[in-house]
A and B are shown apart, each in its own frame.
Chain A
Amino acid sequence: MNKKTILAIIALIAGIAIIVIGSKDVSTYKNFSDCVEGQSVTVSGFLDLNKDINYDPENSPNVFDFYMNDKNGTTKKVIVKQPKPQDFERTESIVVTGKMEGDVFLASEMLLKCPSKYKEDEIRIRAEI
């Protein structure tokens, strides 16, 4: 067996090992209704603007909560352990990773997507002429 074949076999074995190990780091996108309590999942959805966003920097600077609609339209309260990001209200869609606990989703990670953050949907008019 020549050296290149040996290298190829090593690479193949390493590759398979990596896929096996790496696939454990993956979680699937779920809706709130599919969440099993205590299991870590990723939910993608939208901020519910009709409900309150609570952040009290004076007493608990490291936590805020909001309501989120998943893609099936189910609404759940989400608690995030971090200060509320600026401009959060204008977020278009939210991806949270975490666990369902009771009726509340505890998010360990949150990603905001605001494609039109600085592109306004109306023509900007001069304040004064």
Chain B
Amino acid sequence: MTPDIQYIGETLWPGKLAHLCVILSFVAALFSAFAYRKQVKTKIEDYSWRRLGRAGYIIHGIATITLIGLLFYMMGSLMYEYAYVYNHVNDELPKQYILSAFWEGQEGSFLLWMFWHIILGFILIKTAGKFESATMIFMALIQTVLASMLLGLHIEVGDFIYKIGSNPTLLLRDTFAAPIFQTADYLKLLEGTGLNPLLQNYWMTIHPPTLFLGFASVTVPFAFAAGAYYSKEYVDWLKPALKWSLFSAGILGLGILMGGAWAYEALTFGGYWAWDPVENMSLVPWIILVAGVHTNLVARNMRRAINSTFIYYALAFVLVLYSTYLTRSGILGDTSVHSFTEMGLEPQLIAMVALFLLIPLVILIKNYKHVPSIKKEESIYSREFWMFVGALILLFSGVIITGSTSLPVFNSIMAQFDPTFEGSVIEDPIPHYNKFQIWVAILISIMTAKTIHLFYKKEKMTSKQTRNFAIKQLIYFGIAAALTYLTSLWIDYYEWRYTLLTLCCYYTIVANFALLFSNLKANGKTLAAVLGHAGFGLMIIGTVASGLNEETITSSPFVMRGLIPQSELGESVRLIKESPFYVNDYWLTYEGDSTNGYTRNFKVKFQKKDTVNDKSYKPFYLEPNILYNLELTKVAAFNPDTKHYIDKDIFTSVRGLPGAQLDVENAKALEDSLDYVIKVLNVGDTIKTRSGYGVLKSVSFNPESKDFLAGGNDLGLSAIVEFKSFRDKEYTERAETILGLKDNLLFQYPYLVNDLNTKIKLDESTFDNFFTQENELKYTEVKIKTGQAFDFGGKTFRLTGFSDNFDNKNYKAEPEDIAIKAQLSYDTTEGPLEPIFVIRGKRPFNIKDYDVKEGIHVRLSYINPENDEFTFLIAKDDRIDPTVNLMVAEGAPRDDIIVLQAKIFPGINLFWSGSLMMLLGFFIAFLSNRNKVNA
């Protein structure tokens, strides 16, 4: 842009080094993939290609980790010359959020993903044994593709410019054209944009790394499947792949669950799952992976369903890439609340998905016939048959979710062919997804309940065995029915489908635990399966309880129900400060707010009242808050607060505030729109408004408020008006409005009388009625000695002595100063006037003292050392007409209200504990399988 400018203060070496790392990372990964492929193809006892492949991967790892380190260093040192640093941090960002700021950006999140692939790759190099070369081809290949996302190349083909990757090491002045870059030391003027305040919490620190470890670990089972087929090893991969897919299912599940917990705890989504496209597309790979885990178990034990396992693992991996495409290409745009900025990488992302769809497809087509299989069909009495069916149901579930979520992709494809194509959109996503997934959950529950009691390879059951099996299942079902009934005393199912769903979930919980207690040979693996299945059941029951029985405390009062349709009921109520409000069995009181940094907390008291038995419960407090932006001019985020009980949560968030409090611009616009009328008042005068009246009680010269603190030469004047209401005889409010002179600028501090919707402030002309500016004062010169007195303005002033206390807001003593502070006493309540005379570096000057109440200004201008005579300058404010010009506006909106939403989520702990139990199942399974492999 302006190459001839010699910029000052830029640190260029980290950027150059980082860019080198970007290129090295890409090249080394590509080389590693190539070398490992060569090794697989050589098939002889010469491992030189493998050594090269390893070296390539290690160099790739070092380059990428160095790149990450350099970016951190640049962000930590606030090097705003770099676009990535400028866009994600700023001076005020607390250091603990540097990690969050790093992966907030797309480039950073790609790097986080790559980082985990590197770690997993290193583990594979160490542990994969004979599968090392074959698996590492694919690890290195995906790393090559991901590294290409950081290259930042622009290729011109005809009129199009294709962008390959987005380089995180670019300088700001190369990405942004602005006049500021004409200045050589522009860096001194720059301030970063910082991290979105919504993301400044610990969830943003822990959720992305977990989720990306989950995503990265999905690659490993795929790498085993593809690598094994590619090197014609069709069986031995099943053991290590199972171990990895169990690990992956646990971690990915945990990552998704954390996302839900974040949404629930810290965001105002009002729930943990909303079937948002971004949520869906992280869930689907997990579902497919879980299907793969089950066919993998069958395959390992029975040598059946090996091809199915291959397909599930490949599909799970491609779906991770597809979800990356959906969330990062901007195609979801209109359907997702998770907004991602477009980077212009759509073609590259599509190519990535296509490539990794094609590779396993080709490998599968070339190999599937050579995979050992058993011709004879599975018996319906065998466990493997039903596990296979269960996996199919999971696949089906994933396909349905993906299909609905991909509607925007379908729209976009159709629009390519037909520009007039009217895109379609799912109107109400939550019921749409629930409608189908409820049946998936029902079927899965039934499958897991009975299949776990079947045995592998069982060809037939004798009639006695069948009878025993049926009786047992009937008992479990009966217990489940009893539990379902008991639960119905606590929560409503509303319709038969949810009753059936709950019944089936209890069925699997009972059946699975029954296995654990009846089977004496139960080991870690049995425990894992039981926890996984029962956890699933418990999780779904929790969803039914909390989702279906979610109750809004703050919905319109009970009497309105039935009169207006449910959807028309408001979900929030307006609370006036310190005025309790009764709604749906709760007394809600907004007690006040406090500001701490960027956060403003609203204290709301909840007191449950049982009207039937006239019983009051112990009150509790919740403090939802709002977060202001960095300039404190606007509200950036609303954060909820939740009270946790064992059987329910009470969730509350501020949904709205008076416009003036949301935004400084709104506040200005509102102030301008008010219709002020000037009233000229003397103390004792009354002003009338529509709803009340006010009496000017007094005028104060020492006003104090949190907004106005006088210092230096500042002056303050306030009018104190006592308001009364026509409606409420008890009501009285003391309103003090200030007019302040700060650094020679006049400021008005209005007072809003909320209950009367009246706002008052002092007109600026009032100031001149009370104070005379220094340059307009007419000083009189007086010369007196100690003890003498003089008359001025009807008062007698006497030089009574001197003070050693030089404490004065206008004077800071310096060591070399010679200073004298005289005391002029006179008839006043304010104490003597104390002007100061100073000689600093042989130059004399003086500090004035001022009695604001009497309006008297005094200076000590000269001391004659020969005759001890003191020269004073004295002047008086021109207060011919000390009236108060009060501006009064009626119809001002209140500013002491909040719009609050409060909800009850019953049984939400069942959801959390069920989910965690299920994930614990995966981890126990992982550990049990790992031990066996090692031994």
Chain A interface (Cβ < 8 Å from any Cβ of B): 2-4, 7, 11, 14-15, 18, 21-22, 25-30, 40, 42, 44, 55-59, 61-63, 81-84, 86-87, 89, 93, 95, 97, 108-109, 111, 113-120, 122-127, 129
Contact = CB atoms under 8 A, between A and B. Distances in A.
Nearest to A95: B334
Nearest to A3: B377
Interface in B75-131: 87, 90
B191 interface: yes
A7 to B, nearest CB: 6
7 contacts: A25-B427, A57-B659, A82-B572, A84-B656, A86-B626, A87-B636, A118-B196
Contacts of B176: 123
A73 to B, nearest CB: 17
Interface in B359-395: 377-378, 380, 385, 389, 392
Contacts of B164: none
B178 A123 contact: yes
A57 B899 contact: yes
B339 A115 contact: yes
B20 interface: no
Interface centre among A81, A123, A126 (most CB of B within 10 A): A123
Contacts of B193: 118-120, 124
B897 A25 contact: no
Nearest to B188: A129
Contacts of B432: 22, 25
Given A56-B893, A95-B334, A61 B656 contact: yes
B790 to A, nearest CB: 47
Interface string B185-202: 000111111001000000
A108 B427 CA distance: 10
Contacts of A57: 574, 656-659, 897, 899
Given A86-B638, A116-B341, A29 B377 contact: no
Nearest to A11: B396
B124 to A, nearest CB: 34
For the complex of A and B, the 3 pairs showing the least CB-CB separation, nearest first, are A62-B570, A83-B656, A83-B655
A3 B659 contact: no
Given A25-B435, A61-B573, 20 more contacts: A3-B385, A18-B400, A22-B436, A25-B427, A26-B425, A27-B424, A28-B425, A29-B424, A56-B893, A61-B570, A63-B570, A83-B655, A83-B656, A86-B635, A97-B427, A109-B427, A123-B176, A123-B180, A126-B189, A129-B188
A53 to B, nearest CB: 9
Contacts, number: 152
A124 to B, nearest CB: 5
Contacts of B572: 61-62, 82-83
Nearest to A54: B659
Contacts of A126: 188-191
Nearest to A30: B422
B378 A125 contact: no
Given A28-B422, A40-B427, A86-B637, A111 B190 contact: no
Given A11-B396, A58-B897, A27 B425 contact: yes
A116 B193 CA distance: 12
Interface centre among B172, B334, B335, B377 (most CB of A within 10 A): B334
B547 interface: no
B863 interface: no
A125 B341 contact: no
B515 interface: no
B380 A3 contact: yes
Contact of B574 (A61, A82, A116): A61
Contact of B571 (A44, A62, A87, A115): A62
B428 A25 contact: yes
A54 to B, nearest CB: 10
B894 interface: yes
Contacts of B378: 3
Interface in B163-192: 172, 176, 178, 180, 188-192
B634 A87 contact: yes
Contacts of B899: 57, 61-62, 83
Interface string B617-653: 0000000001000000011111000000000000000
Contacts of B657: 57
B854 interface: no
A111 B274 CA distance: 13
A27 B427 contact: yes
Given A26-B427, A29-B425, A58-B574, A119 B655 contact: no
Contacts of A3: 377-378, 380, 385
Interface centre among B342, B570, B658 (most CB of A within 10 A): B570
A30 to B, nearest CB: 7
A116 B422 CA distance: 26
A18 B431 CA distance: 14
A22 B334 CA distance: 19
Contacts of B380: 3
A126 B188 CA distance: 8
A111 B377 contact: no
A29 B427 contact: no
Contacts of A109: 427-428
B568 A81 contact: yes
Contacts of B189: 125-126, 129
B811 to A, nearest CB: 26
Interface in B311-344: 330, 333-335, 337, 339-342
A27 to B, nearest CB: 5
Interface string B560-573: 00000001101111
A124 B176 CA distance: 12
Interface string B396-440: 100110011001000000000000001111111001100110000
